Amino acid sequence: MNCPECAGELKFDRNLRIYICTRCGATWDREELDVAREKLMDEIYGGFEEGKEEKSKRRKEYLDWWTSKEKKK
């Protein structure tokens, strides 16, 4: 598992029940790590959902066109 801050390796401390980055020293509990990862993924792939919707719309339009073409035959 990698640190959301610096991409360093995270080690889990069983006694403290937290993740500690071996590079920058940042500490994360499980909830904080999940939130940070979700935020990072939104920053990276934020427009991905919009792209999926557009692709789905184009696919439906093409299918409608294709099926209407078949009906004319």
Q: What is the pLDDT of residues 30-72, one digit of tens each?
A: 999 999 888 888 877 775 666 677 778 888 898 888 888 766 6
2 inside domain: no
3-state secondary structure of 16: coil
How many domains are contained in the chain? 1
Q: Give the residues across from 13 on adjacent strands.
A: 18
19 inside domain: yes
Laid out side by side, the sheet with 27-28 consists of 10-13, 18-21, 27-28
CB 36 within 8 A of CB 28: yes
- Looking at residue 21, its pLDDT comes to 95
Residue type, 18: I
1 inside domain: no
- Looking at residue 53, its pLDDT comes to 77
21 inside domain: yes
Q: Classify residue 9 by its DSSP letter.
A: B
47 inside domain: yes
- Looking at residue 72, its pLDDT comes to 60
18 inside domain: yes
